[in-house]
Structure 1
Amino acid sequence: MSDFTTITSTDALAAFCEEAKTHPYVTIDTEFLRERTFYSKLCLIQMALPPASDPKSEGGTAVLVDPLADGISLDPLYDLFRHEDTVKVFHAARQDLEIFFHDAGIFPKPLFDTQIAAMVCGFGEQVGYETLVRKIAKSSLDKSSRFTDWSQRPLSKAQQSYAIADVTHLRAIYESLKAQIDQSGRAPWVAEEAAVLVDPETYITRPADAWQRVRTRTNSPRFMAIVRKLAEFREEYAQSRNVPRSRVFKDDALVELASTKPQDEAQLGKSRLLLREGRKPEIAQGILAAIKAGLEDPDPPRLPKERPNPPGNAALGELLRVLLKAKAESAGVAPKLIATTSELDAIAQGARDVPALQGWRAEVFGRDALRLAEGHIALSAAEGAIRVVELA
C-alpha cells in the first residue's frame, strides 16, 4: 500500500490544499453511500499530488480526508476547486461532482475526467478505472473493498489500500492520456464533454419532470396525468426527507396506482404492489391527493403517437451505422461517444438538432452523416474498408 496521511481536521486539510495549489494537478476520488438516502452521503475523499521528480523519492503526497470527522470543514477543498492553476483529475467524475454540487454548489475547475479522455483516445466505451490501471499503470487493483460500508470507523487496512489506489494510479493514467490528447490536438473534444459535467442542469432533478423517467405501457392522457402527479409527489417527498424514491413507492406500484385510481384509504389498501412504507398515513394521503390532482388536471400530457418508420429511413439508419463504425475506427474513438443508436435513427428520420451533428462530433462524423442522408455521398467497401464516394 502506498504511503498516505489521514486528514481529520480543517487545518490539516487547508495545509494539503495550499500545497496542492503549487502543483499542476491533483488527483481526486470519493467514497460514498446512497442505499439509504436520496442524496449521496460523502464518507471519504482521496487525493494525491504528482510524484516527485527525484527518482529516489517514494512519490508524491497522498491523503485520505475524513469528512465525517468532528468539526472538519471542506471549505479548503472548495477553495482548491476554485484555483484554476491546478487541474483537478477524476475518473468517471459525475457522481463525485454531484456530491460537491449538492453540498456546496461548486464544481472543480479546471476538470479532467480520465474516463472521457480514455474514450477519446480509443480505449472503448465507458472504460473502467481497473482497465486503465492495468493497461497504462501496468498494475492491478484489489476490488474486494469496493462495496463495503464506507461510513464505518475505523476504516480497515483493506479499505484504506483500495481507496488510496484510486488516486495514486490515477496520476500515471492522467499523465499518459493528457500526453496522447495534447499530441492528437483533441483537448477541445475532452473539454466539450467535460462541460456537461460542470453544468448544474446535469444534477438538478425537478419533481415536475420526474414522470418522464417512469416506463409505462399506455400513454393515454388521463393515465399519464396521474403518473405525472404521483411521480412529482414521490420526488418531492424523497428529496425533502432525503430517502430513496423506492422507499416511498416503486415504479411498479406507481403504475398500478395510476391504473386502479384508488379514491380513499380503503381502496388504496387493496394495492398489490404498494409496500408497507407507502401505506404510512403521510404517504397514503399524498398518493390520494396526487391521484385526485391527476384526475382533475386540465392539461394532461399528450405524448405523440409512434409512427411506423418508413423503409427508406430504416435503410438509411443502417447506412449511418456503417458510416459511424468506419469513422470511429478511423478516429480511434468509441462509437457511442460519437453517436447513440437513437441519434442515428433520429438523423435518418430528418432530425438535425442531435448532439452527433454538433461540435467535434460534426467534424468526425456529423457532416458526412448529413451528406449521406441528403444523397450527396455513398458508401463502398473495398479491400476490407468502408470508403466515402462522392456523388455528382
Structure 2
Amino acid sequence: MQTITTTDALAEYCARAAQHPYVTVDTEFLRERTYYSKLCLVQLAYPGDGDETAVLVDPLSDGLSLEPLYTLFRDEAVVKVFHAARQDLEIFFVDAGLIPTPLFDSQVAAMVCGFGEQAGYETLVKRIAKAEVDKSSRFTDWSRRPLSDAQKSYALADVTHLRKIYEYLARELTKTGRDKWVAEEMAVLNAPETYVTQPEEAWQRIKTRNNSGKYLSIVRELARFRESYAQTRDIPRNRVYKDDALVELAATKPANVQDLGRSRLLMREARKGDIADGILKAVADGQAIPVDQQPKPDLSREKLQVNPAIADLLRVLLKGASDREGVASKLIATASDLDAIAAGQRGVAALSGWRHDVFGAEALRLCKGEIALRVKGATIETVEV
C-alpha cells in the first residue's frame, strides 16, 4: 500500500484521481487535547482494484502541502464521497476554508435507501461490499509514527470498500429518483456556518434552569470568553472550565480571586492567571449589560401546546411512511418535529422539500381531520374522512 509523503507525489495522484467520476475520502485525526482536530492521515481512493488507486496521505510529513488535494476538492467534475462527513469536512474547512464540491455522504444516502437510522460503515461494508472490517486498530494514536501495517490496512479499508458502497447507493438513488433527496440533505454539510462556532453564540449550548436576563448575560459572557480562549490556544473548551462550573459561576457571580477560590466546581488551574482574570471580567461585563441588550431564552418549546393525541397519531403516520418508503423515520421527522406539528406550528423541516411529499402533506391533512389511519395487515394506511 502506498503512503504519500511529498507534495509532488500527492499532486501526481490527485491528477490521476481527477480523471475519474468520483474519489472516496476519509481521515484519521485526534481531538482529545486540542480545540481543533489534528489531522493525522488522509485516505483516498478512486475507481479501480489495483494498489495504485488507493493511497494514504501523511500530512505529518515534513514539507508536504495538501494544496493538490484541495485543488481536487474544488474540481466540480469529481464527486467527493465520504461516510458521516461532518467531522472530516470541518478539518478541511478550518485548514483551507473550503468544502469539497460536489459532496456525497454515504451515511445520509443509506438512510434514504432503507438501511436504518445512522447506518454505520461496518454495516454497509457487510451488506453491500460483502466484506468485514478489521476493528483492531479503531482506537489508536494516529499521530505516532511509523504506522503499523495493521493501522494502514484498517485506514485504507475506510475508502476502498466505500467505492462499492457509493456505486451501489448512487444506482439506487437514481433508480428511485431520490438523488434529489440526498442533494437537499447535503445543504447543511455544504454550509460554512456548520463548521464555525462563534464565541458570542456559544452560550446557546449551555443548559440552564434560570432564564433571567441578567443571569443569561453572565452565562453568555462566560461562554464567550471560554470559547475565545480555547480557540486562541487550541485547547478543548472543557480544559478551560466545564459547563457545570460555568453555570455555578453565573449563579455565584465571583467578584475577586478569593471568591473564585470558594467555587466547588472550578478547576484549580482556572482560579489564577489569565483564566481567572477572564472569568472575573466576564462576570462583571455580564452584570453591566443593559436590560434591553440581555439575551432572551428560547421558550418556544416550553410554550408549545402539544395535543398528545395528535402527536401520537403523527408518530403512527410517520412509522407507516417510513416503512412504505424504506426511509429511516428519524431522517423524515424528529420527535420535536412531530410535537411542533401537533402544536400547530408549520415552519417545520418535516413539512418542506422531499419530506413534505413523503410525510408532511399527509401530516397536515391528518391534523385537519381530512384523513384517518387504519391498520391493514402489518401496514398503516390512510383513509379519506
Alignment TM-score, normalising by the size of structure 2: 0.96
1:60–1:181: structure 2 CA closer, same or farther, 3 Å change rule?
A: farther
Whether 1:355 aligns to 2:349 is: yes
The Cα of 1:385 is off from its aligned counterpart by 2.1
Between stretches 205-214 and 374-383, larger displacement belongs to 374-383
Counterpart in 1 of 2:17? Answer: 20
1:184–1:220: structure 2 CA closer, same or farther, 3 Å change rule?
A: same
The Cα of 1:60 is off from its aligned counterpart by 5.8
Between stretches 190-199 and 296-305, larger displacement belongs to 296-305
Q: 1:213 aligns with which of 197, 205, 208?
A: 205
Counterpart in 1 of 2:42? Answer: 45
Counterpart in 2 of 1:346? Answer: 340
Structure 2 distance, partners of 1:183, 1:60, is 31
Structure 2 distance, partners of 1:286, 1:354, is 39
Structure 1 distance, partners of 2:234, 2:26, is 23
The Cα of 1:302 is off from its aligned counterpart by 3.3
SS in 2 for 1:323: helix
Counterpart in 2 of 1:55? Answer: none
Counterpart in 1 of 2:315? Answer: 321
User: What does residue range 81-120 of structure 1 map to in structure 2 within 5 Å?
Assistant: 81-120=73-112
1:246–1:24: structure 2 CA closer, same or farther, 3 Å change rule?
A: same
Question: Which amino acid in 2 is paired with 1:205?
Answer: T
Does the CA-based 8 Å contact 1:210-1:231 persist in structure 2? yes
The Cα of 1:307 is off from its aligned counterpart by 5.0
Does the CA-based 8 Å contact 2:304-2:340 persist in structure 1? no
Structure 2 distance, partners of 1:350, 1:305, is 12
Structure 1 distance, partners of 2:338, 2:301, is 17
Question: Which amino acid in 1 is paired with 2:8?
Answer: D
The Cα of 1:309 is off from its aligned counterpart by 5.6
Structure 1 distance, partners of 2:58, 2:302, is 54
Whether 1:257 aligns to 2:252 is: no
Does the CA-based 8 Å contact 2:221-2:285 persist in structure 1? yes
The Cα of 1:7 is off from its aligned counterpart by 0.3
Structure 1 distance, partners of 2:152, 2:163, is 18
User: What does residue range 218-367 of structure 1 map to in structure 2 within 5 Å?
Assistant: 218-298=210-290, 299-303=293-297, 304=299, 307=302, 310=305, 313-367=307-361
Question: Which amino acid in 1 is paired with 2:160?
Answer: T
Question: Which amino acid in 1 is paired with 2:203?
Answer: W
SS in 2 for 1:30: strand
Counterpart in 1 of 2:138? Answer: 146
The Cα of 1:200 is off from its aligned counterpart by 0.3
Structure 2 distance, partners of 1:277, 1:354, is 44
Structure 1 distance, partners of 2:374, 2:100, is 46
Structure 2 distance, partners of 1:221, 1:86, is 50
Q: 1:190 aligns with which of 182, 186, 192?
A: 182
Question: Which amino acid in 1 is paired with 2:367?
Answer: A
Structure 1 distance, partners of 2:176, 2:126, is 23
1:179–1:307: structure 2 CA closer, same or farther, 3 Å change rule?
A: closer
Question: Which amino acid in 1 is paired with 2:137?
Answer: S
Structure 2 distance, partners of 1:12, 1:48, is 15
The Cα of 1:308 is off from its aligned counterpart by 6.7
SS in 1 for 2:307: helix
Structure 2 distance, partners of 1:363, 1:177, is 21
Q: Encode CA deviations 1:116-161: one digit per residue, 9 max, x unaligned.
A: 1100000011111011111111111111212211111111111111
1:43–1:313: structure 2 CA closer, same or farther, 3 Å change rule?
A: same
1:322–1:224: structure 2 CA closer, same or farther, 3 Å change rule?
A: same
The Cα of 1:306 is off from its aligned counterpart by 6.3
Residue identity (%): 63
Question: Which amino acid in 2 is paired with 1:256?
Answer: E
Could you list the runs of 4 or more consecutive aligned residues of structure 1 that deviate by over 3 angstroms after TM superposition?
304-310
Question: Which amino acid in 1 is paired with 2:53?
Answer: T
The Cα of 1:259 is off from its aligned counterpart by 1.1
SS in 2 for 1:136: helix
Between stretches 106-115 and 213-222, larger displacement belongs to 213-222
Structure 2 distance, partners of 1:86, 1:307, is 46
The Cα of 1:305 is off from its aligned counterpart by 7.7
The Cα of 1:225 is off from its aligned counterpart by 1.4
What is the alpha-carbon root mean square deviation over aligned residues? Answer: 1.4
Structure 2 distance, partners of 1:72, 1:301, is 46
The Cα of 1:384 is off from its aligned counterpart by 3.1
